[in-house]
Amino acid sequence: MENLSNIKELLGAFKFSGEFEKSTQLHDGHINNTYKFDFRESDGMLNRYLVQEVNTYVFKDYDGLMKNVMGVTEFMQKKVAENGGDTKRECLTVIPTTDGKPYYLDSEGRCWRCYNFIYDTHSCQAVDCAKTFYNAARAFGKFQNMLADYPIDSLSETIPNFHNTVSRFADFKKAVADDLSGRANQVKEEIDFVLAREKDCSVLLDLVAEGKLPLRVTHNDTKLNNVMFDNETNEGICVVDLDTVMPGLSLYDFGDSIRFGANTAAEDEKDVSKVSLSLEYFKAYALGYLSTAGESLTAEEINQLAFSSKLMTLECGMRFLGDFINGDVYFKTEYPEHNLVRSRTQFALVADMEKKMAQMQEAVADCCRELGIEK
């Protein structure tokens, strides 16, 4: 068993069904350690589970985190069942411990949890075509729509100010002022790029304060690989990795998806001339997202979809640049200028979005007309 010394303890910790056969470590995630456990019933049926060690350095309030996960997954299971769906494939199920708890603390104080395994699916690490992006958008839109009437006040904020762009901007200015690495003089142009867009950082939060944007259940990590795609249809059937589910804005999830998936270049492309927004991919995602989430979104949310893409890209860029100035203490890097390269890529994408903003807004309007959405 790779990197898992307490296998016997874990086998007795959760309500597994069947006789244990084997376990395998999965290496897709960057935060939690994940293992696949196989059990066999007497009739030969295979039962498969995902067992994860929660990274309690990142998620210190693991009790609040798991309460969020339990609440959201149980709520979604009811919604899927009401719509005649398959609760074993269309949403995660938390497998309780033998004493009925959502997580297990082992003899060394480590936190473990267990989920159902979603059969006959695969994940994608990168957007290979507009159809894949569209299918992912439908999955995230459905996730948003199913949770539209979830009691938001019952959710904990497991990572405070995660997408609070005003707070992120303040963190960035502090990084520049402290200049812990002595690098600030090397990146004056990039610093000025961020400072010139200070007003952008408060746009969405001002709308919240004015009562024009609602707080919702947000995923906050809408990368492509957090969708499980059906092996036969390639449709996105289940959204996974719910660790950062918190109160927030639907626009955070939409904007971050565009930042990640509609960039024509890699996140750390050194040649920024290769960086641009793919309008084809942007429209494909907007169409997919609105096709499943549109009925639950307000007119103002739809109106801000294009801008949110720029804002989430700006936020990510200033986080990369701030970390470079701080001495690379947060993001993992492969070479000394890695965070700087990442920030330049994000800023190039922001600049291209600014040039194409009218086209992005028109694409959203086209999607609404195509879907018959009138707000």
Q: pLDDT digit string (tens) for 271-296?
A: 999 999 999 999 999 999 999 999 99
Cβ-based burial of 254 (10 A; exposed 0-12, middle 13-18, buried ≥19): buried
Query: Which residue blocks in the chain are alpha helix, DSSP H?
Result: 7-11, 62-82, 130-146, 165-178, 188-195, 203-209, 250-261, 279-293, 299-303, 305-326, 338-371
Q: What architecture is the 130-371 domain classified under in CATH?
A: Alpha-Beta Complex (3.90)
Place of tokens 């609440």: 71
Query: Do the Cβ atoms of 181 and 322 come closer than 8 Å?
Result: no
219, 275 contact by CB (below 8 A): no
Q: Please give the pLDDT value at position 2.
A: 47
Q: Tell me which residues of the chain have a pLDDT lower than 70.
A: 1-5, 28-31
What pLDDT was estimated at residue 57? Answer: 81
What is the spatial distance between Cα 175 and Cα 305, in angstroms, rounded to a whole number?
A: 29
> What is the architecture, at CATH level 2, of domain 7-119?
2-Layer Sandwich (3.30)
- The segment(s) of the chain belonging to CATH 3.30.200.20 are 7-119
- Every domain range in the chain assigned CATH 3.90.1200.10: 130-371
Sheet holding 121-122, edge to edge: 121-122, 227-230, 236-239
Cα 147 vs. chain centroid, distance in angstroms? 15
Residue identified by tokens 């100035």 is 325
Sorted by sequence, the CB contacts under 8 Å of residue 333 that are 6+ apart come out as: 339
